[in-house]
């Protein structure tokens, strides 16, 4: 059915913008090549979506009751906004884009339920803050263990680089389990897709975006926010992956971009505030604020023009 085309577009835009985040730090630190990173991300996104993707579908459906045609317009609006931010190399929140679009569609129909929004808003706030705190603490705690038990420099470097790859794979898994609901959640809610096929189609479209158009955002996250050494990149990867996975268990789709920026910032704060690029952070925060608002406006306008 043609309405699913918007979901596939949304998955592609999510993959191009969000999925590279967990290996962006590793690529920026030159631990793994961009091509190898994208292949691993694509694989583990699909695994995560198939194993745990169903957990977040219900939250997306609670905000507004949509029919299949409305699901197409909301998803198309969100995907367009994410693609625009990706073009400019800015990480943004697909969760905020789809929620903004759904609320815009709900306002048009008179069915938007803002009472369900408080849980999502709280999780959005806690995502970067939680990732920052986890990374800040892990940097010190694991640093002591590394310095105590890994005395040999070559062994230490090998363990850190291996851990960086593993944490990136875990991050991709967490992303698939958490964010696939942003791609096909509205279609599952309408009954157009079963949860299994929603997870499958959504994760494959995310993987396609990772493999074809994720380089710009990966560079922004890996190099422009703070310069990362291998150990710092490993800590940032663990912190961001862990917070996204935690919210999967809560059943709320959150932004992996917010998680990784929070984690990278937490590592940067260990080295002092001057190590963090405040200009890049401001640009990203502006994107976070404008994404749901713009997504809702675009969706409302599209519905006025084309929804019958």
Nearby residues of 30 by Cβ (< 8 Å), 6 or more positions away: none
Q: Which residue has the higher pLDDT, 174 or 3?
A: 174
Choose among 2, 4, 43: nearest CA to 201: 4
Q: Which domain holds residue 297?
A: 4-306
| Average pLDDT of the residues of the chain | 86
Report pLDDT for 31: 81
User: Alpha-carbon distance 168 to 48, whole Å?
Assistant: 13
Report pLDDT for 241: 94
Report pLDDT for 197: 96
User: Alpha-carbon distance 54 to 90, whole Å?
Assistant: 28
Report pLDDT for 41: 95
Mean pLDDT for 166-187 is 95
CB of 176 closer than 8 Å to CB of 44: yes
Nearby residues of 193 by Cβ (< 8 Å), 6 or more positions away: 4, 184, 187, 201
In the predicted model, is pLDDT for residue 222 greater than 70?
no
pLDDT > 90 fraction of the chain, expressed in percent and rounded: 46
Report pLDDT for 284: 64
Q: Give the pLDDT confidence of 69-89 residue by residue, as tens digits.
A: 999 999 999 999 888 877 887
Q: Report the domain count for the chain.
A: 1
């Amino acid at each position: 059915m043609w309405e699913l085309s918007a979901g596939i577009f949304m998955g592609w835009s999510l993959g191009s913008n969000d999925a590279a985040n967990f290996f962006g730090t590793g690529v920026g630190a030159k631990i793994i090549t961009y091509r190898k990173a994208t292949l691993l991300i694509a694989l583990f996104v699909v695994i995560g979506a198939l194993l745990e993707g169903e957990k977040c579908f219900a939250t997306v459906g609670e905000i507004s009751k949509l029919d299949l045609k409305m699901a197409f317009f909301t998803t198309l609006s969100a995907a367009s906004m994410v693609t625009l931010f990706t073009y400019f190399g800015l990480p943004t929140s697909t969760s905020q884009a789809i929620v903004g679009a759904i609320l815009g569609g709900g306002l048009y129909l008179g069915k938007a339920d803002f009472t369900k929004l408080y849980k999502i808003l709280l999780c959005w706030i806690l995502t970067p803050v939680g990732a920052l705190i986890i990374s800040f603490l892990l940097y010190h705690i694991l640093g002591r263990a590394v310095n105590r038990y890994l005395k040999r420099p070559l062994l230490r470097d090998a363990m850190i680089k291996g851990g960086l790859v593993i944490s990136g794979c875990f991050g991709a898994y967490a992303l698939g389990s958490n964010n696939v609901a942003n791609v096909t959640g509205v279609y599952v809610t309408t009954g157009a897709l079963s949860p299994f096929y929603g997870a499958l189609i959504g994760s494959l479209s995310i993987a396609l975006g990772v493999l074809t158009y994720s380089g710009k955002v990966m560079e922004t996250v890996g190099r422009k926010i703070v310069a990362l050494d291998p150990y710092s990149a490993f800590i940032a990867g663990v912190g961001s992956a862990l917070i996204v996975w935690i919210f999967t268990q809560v059943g709320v789709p959150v932004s992996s971009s917010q998680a990784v920026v929070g984690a990278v910032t937490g590592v940067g704060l260990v080295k002092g505030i001057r190590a963090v690029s405040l200009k890049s952070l401001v640009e990203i925060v502006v994107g976070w604020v404008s994404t749901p608002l713009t997504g809702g406006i675009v969706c409302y306008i599209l519905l006025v023009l084309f929804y019958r």
